[in-house]
Structure 1
């Protein structure tokens, strides 16, 4: 018997039961749907399954946290695309998302000049105290948060960085506006759990699993272009690498 088959006169049901029953029903529905297919609205779900809109909203939020659906502000809720798989090929975040049918964008959270501490000076190959651009952005796919990214660049090398261009691909900005093309990068990846602010920005529960990616990018002359740290949602992002045994 499905949730919508139950009637109000079946007896009192707790909000917790209604929420769990609706969540399971929607999971079963989603398994039969195609990526990008639209789900009913909160109001439609509430009417169809005889629950409150608060219960419908809670169930949709749980599905978003599980990575099963994504919401586009002002448009609706849709079945998610498969996970974003990052391979060993050198591609930008924007390129990865476009290849999977997402529209990539970025929400600029901070753009400021800072003095390089020892860690960032070492990563960028500059002296401690050197002026750096610190750029913090929330990376989005179809307006849905996927990664929280902080990038550092030399302010001496890029003195006139245009903040208005930072809502797209930073790699494309550096290549098109500054003639600097990234051709190689080293990446270090580890698992971690998100904290309160990180969880809020990424739209997931505090303590949820995420992947922290530390990346140093180089140009064709072997000079460091940027150093960045990206905190990627563990339910939406995965890495697939080919490894070989040394001969």
Structure 2
């Protein structure tokens, strides 16, 4: 059966989750968004199933058409739904977010849930040195630098520069590019190179962004951002140095620098 001829998902599925999420301070569009996400994650809405029409869905839930469209637009950005003009809205295949992120744990102020985080590899190279190389110690082979753009729920973008001693982490240069997309790099350091991150410490300060970093974060050059410098260790041995840039955003950032439970 083609996607176009699939029957609409029973409205009761969405309505059930929608009413479960009733809570003070939660906007209606966030409520609908989370209803669909939870139903998908629980397997009650599956890929290619068709949602009720936007207007019908709004009437069913007692919300405006604009609110319904705002929620579905955000869901479409994340891949949870696919909107086909003149045909309808269908459950899609959501993007794979970073699992067990250490440093990009942003909390939605409305829902209290951690926002999904997606990482895109911008480049990797060998550099002779960098500003804080002394914290990692000298390495005759230089340092591997990995640049990534970090999307937080597609609401805003962070930027990351990660430096690693080249003599220990050479295998990272040969990994297929896709293995460095949407992953927690600390897991890669452990599985590919045998160096688990057991401790991370850092500090933060406000900086103005240069044009290169600002472009990656999709903000104007000279904008202010929070720069967080993080030194990663394994058994007190420094193994990584990360520069993380975060723009102003209406959510909380968990800054304990401790990974979630394994």
1:233 aligns with 2:238: no
Q: 2:128 aligns with which of 115, 129, 153?
A: 115
1:100 aligns with 2:113: yes
Structure 2 unaligned regions, length at least 5: 1-24, 34-53, 55-69, 83-99, 257-262
Please report the TM-score for the alignment, with normalisation by the length of structure 1: 0.56
Moved more, 202-211 or 174-183: 202-211
* Number of aligned positions between the proteins: 170
Please report the TM-score for the alignment, with normalisation by the length of structure 2: 0.53
Counterpart in the other structure of 1:72? 77
Check 1:208–1:218 CA distance in 2 against 1; reply closer, same or farther (3 A cut). Answer: same
C-alpha distance in 2, partners of 1:186/1:35? 34
Check 1:120–1:195 CA distance in 2 against 1; reply closer, same or farther (3 A cut). Answer: closer
C-alpha distance in 1, partners of 2:155/2:137? 34
C-alpha distance in 2, partners of 1:114/1:219? 22
Whether the 8 Å CA contact 2:201–2:231 is kept in 1: the answer is yes
CA deviation after TM superposition for structure 1 residue 205, in Å: 3.5
CA deviation after TM superposition for structure 1 residue 241, in Å: 6.8
CA deviation after TM superposition for structure 1 residue 102, in Å: 3.2
Check 1:170–1:240 CA distance in 2 against 1; reply closer, same or farther (3 A cut). Answer: closer
Counterpart in the other structure of 1:151? 162
C-alpha distance in 1, partners of 2:162/2:115? 22
C-alpha distance in 1, partners of 2:103/2:75? 18
C-alpha distance in 2, partners of 1:209/1:171? 28
Whether the 8 Å CA contact 1:193–1:210 is kept in 2: the answer is yes
Structure 1 unaligned regions, length at least 5: 1-29, 39-43, 45-59, 61-68, 77-89, 243-247
Check 1:192–1:236 CA distance in 2 against 1; reply closer, same or farther (3 A cut). Answer: farther
Counterpart in the other structure of 2:237? 223
1:33 aligns with 2:48: no
Check 1:106–1:91 CA distance in 2 against 1; reply closer, same or farther (3 A cut). Answer: closer
